[in-house]
Structure 1
């Protein structure tokens, strides 16, 4: 409650607040100052400048960022701001519970359950022996787990050490971090500043790095620029700046001029006209006025000869 009161006071009397670093200025598309954006601890301002994102390992709770609680035998996934259990444990509520592997079984590829060895089939929480030749399965046109159908018979499958059976047991899939080849399973070569994607068969570069084929290159974000995409690889110059040689250079704004909405171009204020790189005052002769389009209009009874308003 006390923190909320301080927050309200700071929003009203921001210059008087001691911790002004918790706020960032917010502008609209025309460059008009809209106010201050509150940035709590363990957060940073978003690329639009109108809010914030919590740091990796923290979750947004409305007006503050709370540290993610990782249980025993859990692993924090900073990219997704959540946690998963270590291999050999499965998620139950807010805890990681050890997976019980019965006899004649092994852990599955992601380590959250068990699968029966070849020649055995799951029955509840145990693995039972499949009878040889399994007439029952063949009569139904199916082969037992760990076998594949070849003609009218079942042939036992032999899989690589870095693979596991599919759900029906009639084929195999490579373990997490490996991909399937004609000869078996090959390990995915993950370069520096990259991570495996969800299915574990390929990789992508970390936030702020760009894929260059077989390595990840850090993207340079120049001063006076902001990030425009989710993976942190694209950027644009801020309002009033333009890109030049990979940097953001301030656009010259002459006196008596203003930026257009995109902040990349300018035009002269009303009453002035462009003359190259500056704005010069429009000469309004006697018996004349400027309309809203910055045009000289003579009053009734006069006509414009290009310089003066002459009586008709």
Structure 2
């Protein structure tokens, strides 16, 4: 309306009416696009189900694609068949392995059966329940437990799975028997499991199966080494055959660490049994 004249002027058509069809088309296009995208996402799942249907007694895996047989069933080609538990066995309720195990005292065979473990006389059932062992005092021979016959002066040693015997102290095994060890005079039994079973007393040495006294010369002392003459010369003496001779230490010399030889002092050298200045 014109303020001066008081009349109303005609208005041009409003632009909103022209935009309505355009907005409607955009919304419809977005809506249809969402439906198509949802259909595309669902189609592979339907296609997979149609291609690999889950058989009876099976369920889809908790992760990844595919399916697995339920507990108590095992895959046989493309089907899940029930686990057949043989006699004397129990169901393990596990999804892996055979699905069953033999009861204690039975063992599995190649024919998928559980047969009783036959324990021979003198044996006992192993804690595993699948095999047997021989009692102490018996030894396994093939499928039997044979009693160990102890010779005189012997005793059992070892565990039940490796029973054997050993001779008493003072005896040694010879051809399956325990014979007395002949200990010579001036000797005693030792604890060695090999070699000479006796040792000569101190002051004696072994010679030709006997213990002979060590003859210690003058200026010597007994030496208990397992080799040698059985004696050593005192300090300042040197062995000469079966005697100990006094050592004449030349001038500018001294006894060495052993005490049975001499050597020149520092800055001196040996020359024909004398110590001369080393210039």
- Give TM-score, length-normalised by structure 1: 0.44
More helix by share: 2
More strand by share: 1
